[in-house]
Structure 1
């Protein structure tokens, strides 16, 4: 979004979900995938009505996640919303046919009157490789080739193309074309300098997943992304930078930490247990992880504002997305946080950053 008066990118605020399904730490019960999807769609509707800018849905291929096809879920959301942008957070690009991906999101863009975009990533889990018949040894090569093809699909109504992993394309029509001139494309980056350089050279947006720790450690990624993009000849306004991270908002910071700790500990116990790692987070460790100088967006609206503004000083980013529904956080609480984000956090950030 560009400010028509200043020509500067406007700061965007929103939320995203991966649709995780795990037992509630208080009851031991987990909701069904169907209920989780209904709650995701309702959260997007609330975010749209509250005036937030963007809603993202991630991709996994596991029974403990509700979303395997972001385009389908986002198309359902498009029918219940009017203004909010709709993005994948992220699409596992290494194991999807770029032609099908482009067609799905071009269709979403038409359905939503130009609100679709794609954030592509390599994924935190690897189950999609054997599921769709890809070799994990080709992890990076698949992503590179598919990103190259996706960029060409985005630019051309008719295309000839040849690569290593996919059948050749010979003067084929690429349809439908999106409502927008081109779909906005981003690369999701977890900490790899190589990924940041790639995003810059390609001239696509970069979404940094900052899930904790000192945010200063990500400044180098932002710097090399912009440097690579400018050296490749891309205009500065094309080099869009976003920050995504875990969040929980309550009236006071202590209330936020008290309420979020069981769910946050529950989430990491569940995720780390799947990876054979240490599974528990003590309350003392959590309090340090949620401290005022860390990247974990937990606290009062004022605490969240201060963290976003501080990170903006570091990175100069123009998008902030919070993941607030992890670890079986009840939907009622998610709805309350959407209201706080929209009414108490977003107005201040827009006032301070859209000058």
Structure 2
């Protein structure tokens, strides 16, 4: 199986050379430049997340992806993720089908329930409907991407009776669902016959092997279509281990401290960071050799079809991210391919 390699970002608001936080507008422009670099060095996929809070600049990911589409030719474009629970499936389909048109067929829909909940109140949804909203809206979106008139009814939005939506894509459009690791979520993905993206942001990749097995068993049981599994994990590449870790740690600390104050997490520490970049952790950071070995081990362990490195983490500077992207594309990926070829 041919393995693909991607990059994901949430558009984290970063610090400039003077140490001050950049504007959200400049952060978005930097994301477009990062995507241009990614294509120039052969990255297969570029994903941007949707958030509605001050530390992440991207609230309308399809707009950013359209800007990237205008400056690139081949890299596939998607989200990581679109918060489907607080959006409307018809509008999601229409926006992505439009993106697919302007990018000449490079759009992928990657949806999730959302690990942040600001969008629910913002768009008038009750958090008590968290599960029901996602289940119903995913069901409808799966029908819409078949690009045939849809008759559907549920409890979370008005029914559709023979509704046709436009524009149509030229060659169809894939859907992936981002999953944090619950069996129910994995089985839902299999039942709908769409792709599974495993968000591995804590612990070793090996602990997700049962979910991969469950996905394949469930696909066989439901008689739906199996798709290559995608893994999404954070990381940062430097010239050496120490370079990467010294660059990355302040951004990880800032991100965890900001979110931790809201969620009651304990204080972040360098010791915790070093544990996460080790074999038992979910952070892929270090020299190209170290990161390549860890990615190759994950691909072997889980049998995934694509690995997405979440390269933006906290306030890490644009310049450091650009160098990390360059090392990922020119040194890490070729090493991973050689390691897997040796197998």
Tell me the TM-score normalized by structure 2. Answer: 0.95
Q: CA deviation at 1:298?
A: 0.7
Is the CA contact 2:49–2:80 (under 8 Å) kept in the aligned structure 1? yes
Tell me the distance in 2 between the aligned counterparts of 1:340 and 1:287.
Answer: 21
Q: CA deviation at 1:214?
A: 2.2
Query: Are positions 1:91 and 2:82 aligned together?
Result: yes
Specify the SS of the correspondent of 2:176: strand
Give the aligned partner of residue 116 of structure 2.
Answer: 125
Is the CA contact 1:106–1:179 (under 8 Å) kept in the aligned structure 2? no
Give the aligned partner of residue 27 of structure 2.
Answer: 36
Tell me the distance in 2 between the aligned counterparts of 1:118 and 1:190.
Answer: 17
Tell me the distance in 2 between the aligned counterparts of 1:119 and 1:308.
Answer: 21
Query: Are positions 1:335 and 2:322 aligned together?
Result: yes
Tell me the distance in 2 between the aligned counterparts of 1:259 and 1:66.
Answer: 21
Give the aligned partner of residue 68 of structure 1.
Answer: 59
Give the aligned partner of residue 5 of structure 1.
Answer: none
Change (3 A) 1:242 1:224: same
Give the aligned partner of residue 116 of structure 1.
Answer: 107
Indicate the RMSD between aligned Cα atoms, in angstroms.
1.7
Q: CA deviation at 1:190?
A: 0.9
Q: Which moved more, 1:164-173 or 1:133-142?
A: 164-173
Query: Are positions 1:272 and 2:263 aligned together?
Result: no
Work out which of the residue numbers 260, 279, 282 in structure 2 matches 1:295. 282
Is the CA contact 1:157–1:175 (under 8 Å) kept in the aligned structure 2? no
1:118-156 per-position Cα deviation (integer Å, ceiling 9, x unaligned): 111011111111111111111111101101100110113
Unaligned runs of 5+ in 2: none
What are the within-5 Å matches in structure 2 for residues 176-195 of structure 1?
176-180=167-171, 182-195=172-185
Tell me the distance in 1 between the aligned counterparts of 2:275 and 2:149.
Answer: 54
Q: Which moved more, 1:156-165 or 1:317-326?
A: 156-165
Q: CA deviation at 1:284?
A: 2.2
Q: Which moved more, 1:204-213 or 1:282-291?
A: 282-291
Work out which of the residue numbers 8, 16, 30 in structure 2 matches 1:16. 8
Is the CA contact 1:58–1:67 (under 8 Å) kept in the aligned structure 2? yes
Q: CA deviation at 1:205?
A: 0.9
Tell me the distance in 2 between the aligned counterparts of 1:66 and 1:284.
Answer: 29
Specify the SS of the correspondent of 2:230: strand
Q: Which moved more, 1:75-84 or 1:164-173?
A: 164-173
Query: Are positions 1:244 and 2:232 aligned together?
Result: yes
Give the aligned partner of residue 232 of structure 1.
Answer: 222
1:283-321 per-position Cα deviation (integer Å, ceiling 9, x unaligned): 222212211343210111111111111112221001111
Q: CA deviation at 1:215?
A: 2.0
Tell me the distance in 1 between the aligned counterparts of 2:80 and 2:287.
Answer: 25
Is the CA contact 1:109–1:116 (under 8 Å) kept in the aligned structure 2? yes
Work out which of the residue numbers 240, 248, 258 in structure 2 matches 1:260. 248
Tell me the distance in 1 between the aligned counterparts of 2:161 and 2:274.
Answer: 57
Tell me the distance in 1 between the aligned counterparts of 2:128 and 2:262.
Answer: 21
Tell me the distance in 1 between the aligned counterparts of 2:200 and 2:150.
Answer: 37
1:88-129 per-position Cα deviation (integer Å, ceiling 9, x unaligned): 100101111100000000000010011000111011111111
Tell me the TM-score normalized by structure 1. Answer: 0.92
